[in-house]
Amino acid sequence: MKVYISSTLRFFFGRKAEIDVQIPNPTVSSVLRKLTEEFPEAAGGLFDNSELRTFIRIFVSGEDWTDRSFHDREIDESAQVLILPLIAGGSADESIISDERRKAQVLDGDEIERFSKHLLLREIGVPGQKRIKAARVVIAGLGALGSQVAQILAAAGVGTIRIIDFDSVALSNLQNQLLFGIRDVKRPKVASVRDRIRAVNRNITVIEEKVKIDADNAVSLIEDADLVIDCTDNYKTRYLLNDAAVIAGIPLVFGAIYQFEGLVSVLNHDGGPCLRCLFPAPPAPGLMPTCAENGTISSLPGVIGSIQANEALKLIIGIGSRLSGKLLRMDLLNLTSEVLNVGRNKDCPFCGEKSSRVRVEDFDYDEFCGLRQEDTEIPVETISPEELTRRIDNNEPLTIVDVREPHERTILRFSGAVVIPIGQLERRKKELNPEIDTVIICKEGKRSILAVRTLKEAGYLGPVYSLKGGLDSMKDIILSGEGGWI
């Protein structure tokens, strides 16, 4: 039996994309047990106190078998099992744009020429193009996915596009955020995207929102839109958008990317699930590396962003099969793709039958996404980049442990660090000297916090610190006598 491992989990499984599991009368429970016996580090990634973590789903030949009621059901040996964490179909029905709004639109001579390739399509024609012109779309996040979606929807003629992002363009963005150029570096992303949209079509109304989405503004930012396209890059904002879309009654086109793999779904539409139905809770901070920490190939956001834009256009026009109730997974490295059936959870706290949620402000998103430290949580002491530099320069006794992935260390190396992947820390804690200070380093300082807690929960008694801000905070620091440290 073939078990396919999503790229976000492969560092628990020896970087393997697929594993051949040979056991008699296989079930989900026995397959997972076999996997964790062969790969002990995977147990912490898949389970929390023997319960499957809430951000992980199990599919058997495309069907969702995540619920425990399926776990002891025998699996046909020819079936394919997919283990899929959060990265972050349906039949055609009516357009999300009313006939009244469609009829209120007029296409002038220039627009008829501009959109002639749409008008020639029987499924779109003049009525469909008028619906596109009448549409009000929110694009949340203007990174790799958002910049791709914005270009396509602008070229398609969407009448009103609200763009939301609080960040500015960085040089590192230019690799996979193809809407930006070198002149955009350090400019607000909303300003750069606005200019590119208007360069494509000056008739489009562009609404700029240079803000960070939070519980206070999430609903107001989207409530007058026809649909929301989630192109964000963090769990808190994804759940905020999901909950705001449920409350406002607006469909949400979800997209996520990681390394070579992407996900797309249409949520909160036509009786389909919301994000909480698919993934009731996000992973703990640091447990799953982000695309910022592990990168993405330049072509991936173009593919996934184009599919998001395509789903949005189908919703607006009212054509085709939708990804409502389905989750599309694509792996560009291995050239595989599959559409997985996902259902609505009737007990979902936000869209379920008994849900009483009427606002997002009454939900503690920091606690939910693991961003707030509880009193009962093991405290983590940090060390500043300046203090670490001083101690290294003074040759003070110190053990530095690098928990990053191998490819990250080829880009940025820390001389003298002991390399211990985060999944091996517990069983390798005896390699550390509890008589001297240990400093854990990673890229951004998130995985190192999880690593410190992992060591302490495993009973390690020596002093251990997390490098505040990670190696990103030390890029401009030069150690004496070395002329640099990478």
CA 486 to CA 475: how far, in whole Å?
Answer: 9
**DSSP string computed for 386-455:** HHHHHHHHTT--EEEEE-S-HHHHHHS--TT-EE--GGGTTTTGGGS-TTSEEEEE-SSSSHHHHHHHHH
Are 60 and 286 in contact by the 8 Å Cβ rule? The answer is no
**DSSP string computed for 178-203:** TT--GGGTTSBHHHHHHHHHHHH-TT
Residue with tokens 């539409």: 269
Q: Are β-strands 336-341 and 252-258 bridged in parallel, bridged antiparallel, or unpaired? A: unpaired
CA 423 to CA 437: how far, in whole Å?
Answer: 21
Q: Which long-range contacts (CB under 8 A, 24 or more apart) does 100-108 make?
A: 101/131, 101/134, 102/127, 102/130, 102/131, 102/134, 103/130, 104/134, 105/130, 105/131, 105/133, 105/134, 105/159, 107/133
The dihedrals phi and psi of 117, each to the nearest 5 degrees, come to: -70, -30
Active-site amino acid positions: 291, 442
Are 150 and 158 in contact by the 8 Å Cβ rule? The answer is no
Are 206 and 163 in contact by the 8 Å Cβ rule? The answer is yes
Q: Which of 11, 5, 67, 13 is nearest to 37 (CA)?
A: 13
CA 29 to CA 141: how far, in whole Å?
Answer: 38
Non-local (6+) Cβ contacts of 392 within 8 A are 398, 479
Write out the H or E segment, with its range, that includes residue 31. helix 28-38
Are 324 and 253 in contact by the 8 Å Cβ rule? The answer is no
